Chains A and B, each alone.
Chain A
Amino acid sequence: MVVIPSTLMGDGAAQSKRIPLTQLARGQRAMIDSESLNTLAEADRCLLRAMGIHESCELKVCKAGAPCIIEVERTRVGLCGSVASKVFVKPCDGCPAA
């Protein structure tokens, strides 16, 4: 058996508000809002994608605030404030609120 990112959680998440990544609390899970990545510079978006942070993937916050560290699947990435504040996410249900 293998881990498949729970993209199935989409239904519940779709109803929650979009907030910037920097406003999530540590340990909170969220889904990346697919449109918000388009506001990033092309190079940053491509790099994030190649690192495994792509549209509608689920992430977990390891260090909150700006800069922050997020975890997607088995990859942890540190993002500076200027990028993190442009990435919007929908917090998943059942996670502690910010």
Chain B
Amino acid sequence: MAAQQPDELEALRVYSTERPPRAALLGQPNTGKTTLFNRLCGSRARTANIPGTTVESRVGLAATTHGALEIMDLPGIYGLSLEVPESKLCRDCLDGRIGDVAPDVAVIIADATNFSRSLRFASHALRRKMPCVIAITLADDARRKGFSVNAAALSECLGCPVVITSGRTGEGVDELADAALRAALHGISLESFERRLNHLPSSSVSESDLAKWANDVLVEVASGRLAAASSVSDRVDRALTHPVSGLATFILVMSVLFASIFWLAQFPMNGLDLIFGTSGDWLRAVMPAGPLRDLCVDGIIGGVAGTVVFLPQICLLFFLLSLLEDSGYLARAAFAADKFLRRFGLPGQAFVPLLSSHACALPGIMSTRLIPDPKDRLATILVAPFMSCTARLPVYVLLISLLFAGRPWLAGLAFVGCYATGAIAGLFSAFLVRRTLLKGPARPMLLEMPPYRRPSVRIALWVMYDRGVLFIKNAGSMILAICVVMWWLSAYPKVAPSPELLQMRAQTSEVALQANANPEQVQALESAVNLLESREQQLGSMAGKIGLIAEPLFQPLGFDHQLTVAVLTSFLAREVFVSTLMIISSTDANDEASLLDRITHNRRSDGTLLFTIPTAASLLVFFTLAMQCLPTLALVRRETQSWKWPLLQFAWMSGLAWSMAWIVRQALLTGGF
């Protein structure tokens, strides 16, 4: 292609609008689009959903010598004319049916290491009447393997500009941006489009003739040869699909993935806890007492802490997932899990999200972006919160030790039972939803196994950062708002201290003033007073009043007013439940007994035990299955872009939890417990 004279370009730009021209990166999966995009745009990029869809794309600005160019990274597709949602989305995007404007130029990505297939893809894409530039990616990789493409010859063959690039080394990236901008500003005339069509095989050509055409082009423009696949890849694949070593690797990789978000993430989470705890204490010390201080310390700092506490798990998960995906293993793992999950209407790619949800549903739900099919993805999002997350763990510990005190074997079994119950309920729900609300032919697994490559830590760090920012931006504000509202509901209206409390307080200060006061005893008394105060506040607050209204709903499960309030406040986050139990069981707090003893012997005002065995069991079942987590609801709302799905999910999970808890309680009651 003859280079444009700079002044000609200047002239063209005068006619262009103020917005920079937009280029769309169009190509098959795993051909280096995103890597190239990152090279082109650097940090001037943001990830967002394509307007009106739940599919995300990245949009960024690339600087060229002639001005800025907006670049959009589209999801990888095997063909533009396929009837799968991703292809439809790319078509709509190119036509300007979605997104604010149609792209001005298509940058068609051709993978140099799979060149013949890329040429076939390009031959379809070039049939669209729009300016096109072909970017040959992974050129460094191909060259290392002894294969290279002559850009000028290919440009001649296809009738459009060709640039050889590498996202890894940065080769040809600036040149590509220039070529794309030039093509965008130049537009396409009918005659140049017809000239381009003359270079391409006819649209009705059979697939084998198209393959022949691609091979002819390849012979003409390329030099060197690529072996069918590397023998290393062959050997690795043999090991990884072997029944024994394959399964062992799968278990090992997934265990490392799980351990890192379950265990490793604890350390940064504790660190964050410490930071927010200290800054809260500091603020409490410097601000004058009053509602403003409470709002700042308990409401806002507490809320921010409640939001960022999810970040370590999200960042770690996405960092590791990026490495796994880049290495090519993730597709193998999905392949291995597909046979099992398919029975429940879920794809193999749902394995990682469901596994991660055992640590926390939030990173789990965010990682469903790996699932290409929207229905599969939605089904996975809907059932992910059934998996027992770490926030349920303290509740399990508490209730199981209550139920099976002194019988460690049974307790262990009950633990496994809780996890199994959650997973089974999730898979069962997936089965149901795929046959009712999300009916439709399941997409059978036809999954490309990308070549094994050395993963890039740089990209993984970038993905991690990107996901973290995305979480804070998308879900963060809503979760923060929920935290503040929940705090407000449980802190207001302020309750006047009861005579009982006042008396206790007076006693405590009396004891403290005595000359021979035992500091431990004073401390115990003080904490007892504080607990009683929180309990009175909780029952008298808005949340307590709501609990009063909701009490009849939970009565069949054996929950009284206090327990109902505890269950309701646990919506904020399940781990709050244990501390709430501590608060509501504060009556005997001044003896030295442990929390467990206190709860076990906690009696209602009428003298009946608060926790009978059937009540504890029904509470356990309820917590295993219920969606007691508002941040998850907020995230599902964000990911599905509608209130319908989170509300449905909430209703289904709560309904199922209530029914199962009721059944368990009734069974135990009739069993004479």
CB within 8 Å of B: which residues of A? 1-5, 7, 26, 41-44, 46-52, 54-57, 60, 62-63, 67, 69, 71, 73-83
Contact = CB atoms under 8 A, between A and B. Distances in A.
Interface stretch (B443-451, B541-549, B620-628): B443-451
Contact of B446 (A4, A62, A63, A79): A79
Given A63-B241, A69-B237, A79-B446, A50 B225 contact: no
Contacts of B218: 2
B126 to A, nearest CB: 15
Contact of A43 (B84, B222, B335, B445): B84
Nearest to B147: A2
A43 B335 CA distance: 20
Contacts of A3: 225-228
B331 to A, nearest CB: 7
Given A2-B222, A80-B342, 16 more contacts: A3-B225, A7-B208, A42-B83, A46-B79, A47-B82, A49-B79, A56-B208, A74-B113, A74-B116, A76-B229, A76-B451, A77-B447, A77-B449, A78-B448, A80-B445, A82-B444
B45 interface: no
25 contacts: A1-B224, A2-B222, A7-B208, A43-B82, A47-B82, A49-B79, A50-B121, A52-B114, A52-B211, A55-B208, A62-B241, A67-B445, A69-B335, A71-B228, A74-B114, A74-B226, A74-B228, A75-B117, A77-B446, A77-B448, A78-B338, A79-B445, A80-B338, A81-B339, A82-B444
A78 B207 contact: no
Given A2-B219, A51-B78, A63-B241, A44 B211 contact: no
B444 A83 contact: yes
B452 to A, nearest CB: 10
A63 B342 CA distance: 19
Interface string B214-248: 01001100101111110000100110010000000
Given A67-B338, A74-B228, A54 B211 contact: yes
Interface residues of B, number: 45
A2 B215 contact: yes
Contact of B207 (A5, A44, A55, A80): A55
Given A69-B237, A74-B117, A44 B448 contact: no
A91 to B, nearest CB: 17
Interface string B62-100: 000000000000000011011110000000000000000
B120 interface: yes
B222 A51 contact: no
A47 B228 contact: no
B441 interface: yes
Contact of A74 (B229, B234, B238, B338): B229
A61 B211 CA distance: 21
Interface in B474-508: none
A82 B339 CA distance: 10
| Max chain A Cβ within 10 angstroms of own Cβ: one of B82, B84, B116 | B116
A3 B339 CA distance: 34
B114 A75 contact: yes
A52 to B, nearest CB: 5
A73 B115 CA distance: 10
A52 B237 CA distance: 20
Contacts of A44: 444, 446
Interface string B327-353: 000010001001100100000000000
Given A46-B79, A50-B82, A67-B339, A41 B441 contact: yes
Contacts of B208: 7, 54-57
Contacts of B228: 3, 60, 71, 73-74
Nearest to B234: A62
A1 B225 contact: yes
A44 B82 CA distance: 10
B485 to A, nearest CB: 46
B114 A50 contact: no
Nearest to A86: B444
Contacts of A76: 229, 237, 448-451
A68 to B, nearest CB: 9
| Max chain A Cβ within 10 angstroms of own Cβ: one of B218, B228, B234 | B228
A84 to B, nearest CB: 9
B608 interface: no
B206 interface: yes
Nearest to A73: B116
Contacts of B219: 2, 4
A89 B513 CA distance: 93
A47 B78 contact: yes
A5 to B, nearest CB: 8
A51 B215 contact: no
A80 to B, nearest CB: 4
Contacts of B448: 51, 75-78
Contacts of A80: 338-339, 342, 444-446
Nearest to B240: A63
Contacts of A4: 215, 219
A51 B77 CA distance: 10
B449 A73 contact: no
A83 B16 CA distance: 50
Contacts of A71: 228-229
A51 B28 CA distance: 9
Interface string B434-456: 00000001011111111100000
Interface in B397-414: none
A79 to B, nearest CB: 6
Interface in B564-581: none
